[in-house]
Each structure stands twice: as structure tokens, then as C-alpha cells.
Amino acid sequence: MKKNIFSKRYLKETFIEGGLLMAALFSVFITISIVIILAYESYGFFKAVPLKDFLTGTQWTPLFAEPRFGILPLVAGTLLTTLIALIVALPLGMLVAVYLSEYAPHKLREIIKPVLELLAAVPTVVYGYFALSFLTPILQKFLPDLSGFNALSPGIIMGIMIIPYVSSVSEDAMIAVPMHIREGSYAMGATKLQTAFKVVIPSAFSGIAAAFIIGISRAIGETMVVSIAAGGMPNLTINPLEAVQTLTAYIVQVSLGDVPHGTVEYKTIFAAGMTLFLMTLGFNLLGFWLRKRIREVY
């Protein structure tokens, strides 16, 4: 009965465990590769363009004869469309989550959840088409100043697109609030509404915050909707009626063209990608930490 670590069985078990570990570690290699490639190409970029010009310049015209490399217009475009999306997604997502977790009958919830999740499954290029060819013309009827390409229409569509990300994580957090906490509130004579807003939402705060962060991260990284419907002009503005270009849309614009490998213009997309990666990384880590905290509370 002695354990023999050289027996066929032990070798096989060890070998399999090693293989599975490799698969799990592969995800770490992906992150490392992302960082290395972004850093390597960005390094080449920053040898040609001073970091100060990149961070503070107000013009982004890398493909012009006299190129300017100020990232601010792209960051502003990204933040503007993200903000519009959040103005739509956060309140709606919250209302949906409260309604589904506290009010909706079980049957209705079982039907609505998968259908809502379809919103996140629709290919983003389809949303882009919809923003450009359906929503923008409608909005132009109310807002005559709205240009054909603008930040508003893709922002709204993005907002609706990310509702399921916001609502499903918030709802999970609210459902995880134990029943006896709600009963404590009902026993005092509170209505569902009061219980939801005064007891359930505060108890599920970390989860709801995590949901918001996932939503923000999605909106920042969204590409096709803004590429199609927001336009292709870097524009340092806070006016949602004008055309803007986001970090992601810029990368698409360059990728579609014939920029030769190794040039500064080619490297700009990695500098833009690095900016994007760092912005989302911060939000992702914050979201992970918050979700981990919920799991520890209950």
C-alpha cells in the first residue's frame, strides 16, 4: 500500500494536473503578451513623440502632412460617448434590477432575463447600423442641429446595449441580500419600494457598484457603434451634437487603411490601445475587488 510516486497512476495524475495548470496559466500569458506588445510598440512611438505632447496636445492629426499627436481629443470623444451611455444605462439598469429582483413575479423574471441578455448578444456592428440609419434620423427631427455623425446617437445605443451588464450583476447582488433583512423592514410596515431603496440597495452596494464599473468599462471599450455612427474626426468637444472620434474608432480607422508596419503612424494605434487598456484595467480591477467583497459578506 506504500505510495509510489513513480507508479504509472501517479505519473499520469501529475501529468494531467500539470497540463491543466498550463491551460490556467495560459490566461496569464495572454495578459503578459498584451502588456508586452502594447508597451513595445508604444515605446517606439514615444521615442518619436514626447510623452508631454501626447498627454497635453489638443490636436490629433497623425495622418496629416504635419502630424500632431495630442491624445486629448480621442480621450474626450471616448469619455463623451461613455458618459452619454452611462446616463442611459445606469438609471435604466438599476430600475430593471430593482424591478426584477423585488417586484417581478418569478415566471416573468425567468422569461425576461434571457431576452434582456439578448441585448448584449446583438452584434455591435448591427447596433452601429441601427444608430446611423434609424436613431440619428429620428433624433434629427427633434434636434435640427444634430449632424449626421454625432456622439449622442451612438451613446444612447451603447447605453441600451449595456443595460443587461448593469442590471444582471446588480440584480444578482440584490437577490443575494438575505430574506431576513427584507423581512426586518417589512415587519416595520415598510412597502416594497421603501424596502428596496432603504434596505436592499444599501446592502447590495458593492455589487451594484461593481455592475456600474462593468458598464463603464464596456462603454469605454466599445468600438463598432462609435466607428459607424460617431464619425471619424478627432474633435475636442463636449457637445454631444457634434461628430467625435473615440480611441477605439481611431484604431479601426487606421487598421482599415494602408499604414505600413513599423512607421510612427502604425505605432499610434498601439499608443491609443495602451491608453485604452490602462483606462479599462483600472475599472476592471476595482470591479473585481468589489465583487470579491460581496462574496465575502454573505
Partner 1 sequence: MNTTILTELKAEAKDLNFLYGQVHALKDINLPIERRKVTALIGPSGCGKTTFLRCFNRMHDLYPHNRYKGEIILYPDNVNIISPEIDPIEVRMQISMVFQKPNPFPKTIYENVAYGLRVRGTKKKQVIDERVEKSLRGAALWDEVKDRLHNLAFDLSGGQQQRLCIARALATDPRILLFDEPTSALDPIATSKIEELIIELKNEVTIIIVTHNMQQAARISDYTAFMYIGEIVEYDRTEKIFTAPSSKLTEDYITGRFG
Partner 2 sequence: MQNTDIRKRIKAIRRWNGIFRIVGLLSTFVGLVLLFALMADLFTDGFPRLSYKFFASFPSRFPEEAGILSAWVGSCLVLLVTACAAIPLGVAAGVYLEEYARKNWLTDLIEINIANLAGVPSIVYGLLALGLFVYFFRFGESVLTGGLTLALLILPMVIMATREAIRAIPNSIREASYAVGATKWQTVKWHIIPYSTGGILTGIIIGLSRAIGETAPIITVGALTFIAFLPEPPISSDFPFISFKWLLDPFTVMPIQMFNWVSRPQKGFQLNAAAAGIVLMGMTLLMNGIAIYIRYKFRKKIKW
Report the site for partner 2 in 34-93 (rule: CB under 8 A): 34, 37-38, 40-41, 91-92
What span, in angstroms and rounded, lies between the C-alpha atoms of 62 and 71? 10
- Determine contact, residues 246/237, Cβ cutoff 8 Å: no
Give the Cα separation of 219 and 88 in Å (integer): 11
Interacting span for partner 1 (CB under 8 A) from 3-11, 91-99, 159-167, 168-176: 3-11
The rounded distance, in Å, linking the Cα atoms of 53 and 271 is 13
* Cell reading at 96: 430593471
By a kind-dependent CB cut-off of 5 to 8 A, residue 214 interacts, out of partner 2, partner 1, none, with: partner 2
DSSP secondary structure letter of residue 298: -
Partner whose binding site includes residue 99, from partner 2, partner 1, none (CB under 5 to 8 Å by kind):
partner 2
Asked whether position 220 contacts partner 2 by CB under 8 A, the answer is yes
- What length does the chain have? 298
In the list partner 2, partner 1, none, the entry touching 2 (Cβ below 5 to 8 angstroms by class) is: partner 1
Residue 252 is a binding residue for partner 2 (CB under 8 A): yes
- Residue closer to partner 1 (CB basis): 9 or 141: 9
Identity of the residue, 56 or 114, whose beta carbon is nearer to partner 2 in the bound complex:
114
21 vs 216: CA distance, rounded Å: 32
**CA max distance for the chain:** 85
**Is 8 a residue that touches partner 1 (CB under 8 A)?**
no
Bridge partners, residue 69, by sequence: 60
Q: Looking at residues 156 to 175 of the shown chain, list those that interact with partner 2 (rule: CB under 8 A).
A: 160, 163-164
- Count of other CB atoms within 10 angstroms of residue 281: 14
| From partner 1, partner 2, none, interface partner of 191 (C-beta below 5 to 8 A by class) | partner 2
Q: Which residues bind partner 1 (CB under 8 A)?
A: 1-4, 9
